[in-house]
Amino acid sequence: MLLEVKKLSIEFHDHDVPERVVNKLDMELEAGDILGIVGESGSGKSMTAMAIAGLLRRHDMKTEGEILFEGEELLHAKRDTLRQYQGNDISIVFQEPMTSLNPVKRIGWQVEESLRIHRPDMSKDERYRRAIEVLTDVELENPEIVYKKYPHELSGGMRQRVMIASAMICEPKLLIADEPTTALDVTIQLQIVKLLQRLNREKHTAILFISHDLSLVKRLCSKIVVMHNGNMVETGTTEEIFHNPKMDYTKELLRAIPRLEKIVF
């Protein structure tokens, strides 16, 4: 098993009364699979993603449970251990690339960042060739030109492709995509989903796809976890969730999908 989350709980202690945002979550992801986590805003989806990526480090936060990546416990691991995985075996793509990309650094420098950390023996020319390779992989036209540009010179869809390229440059075993299409129009959303499908198929990269958009999850994921108020309310294959949902909350989510979702693209 690539990823095992066991009884994960996340609790904030920044108010008089502790707030539990994830409650005893269990889930698994096998190598090469695509798992979707769905639910409304505030359901605990993104906090779960941040925990798996090793990005929860607040003094006012309490975490319990285990996050096992290929058997290695990461939830309570030391910072040095986490750094070995972050950007190397586990990468994450966030919702809004403009806030993730450095506005004063060129695209190429930012795409190569994980190589400088995890592949220190690579030469400058080797890093450049690898950067061009991944920019091409994510279907950016004229990657040599994109390499030299700044984030503000690219469209939203192009910036998201750059973020995916940055995440894929070390060929991670797990890609966490946290609402990666929310800020994009419908046409670009579908392009990004198709890109993730292709990378999964060709690179055998497991994907954890976080979204509130069930129509996109249906297109991309083989299994789904449904979350509500920090709790997992239902899990199953995509076919089971869409055609035989058991819980009322899941049925409500499905009823909320626009009818246009039935159009085949």
Domain residue limits at 110: 96-171
Q: Show the tokens assigned to 18.
A: 């502790």
The number of distinct structural domains making up the chain is: 2
pTM of the model: 0.93
One domain for residues 183 and 237: yes
One domain for residues 147 and 221: no
Contact assessment for residue 63 and residue 75, using Cβ atoms and an 8 Å cutoff:
yes
Please write the tens of the pLDDT for every residue from 160-208: 999 999 999 999 999 999 999 887 888 999 999 999 999 999 999 999 9
Reference 178, options 87, 95, 91, 101; nearest CA is 95
DSSP 8-state symbol, 48? H
Residue 265 belongs to a domain = no
One domain for residues 125 and 225: no
Task: Assess whether pLDDT exceeds 90 at residue 1.
Answer: yes
**Strands 3-12 and 19-29, how do they pair?**
antiparallel
One domain for residues 56 and 139: no
One domain for residues 114 and 185: no
One domain for residues 40 and 159: no
Per-residue pLDDT at 222: 96
Please write the tens of the pLDDT for every residue from 72-114: 999 999 999 999 999 999 999 988 777 889 999 999 999 999 9
One domain for residues 191 and 71: yes
Please write the tens of the pLDDT for every residue from 56-76: 876 778 999 999 999 999 999
What is the b/e burial string over 1-15, where b = at least 16 CB atoms within 10 angstroms of the residue's CB?
Answer: ebbbbbebbbbeeee
232 φ, ψ (degrees, to nearest 5): -80, 115
**Which of 136, 156, 171 is the endpoint of a domain?**
171
One domain for residues 1 and 127: no
Reference 56, options 22, 16, 29, 101; nearest CA is 22
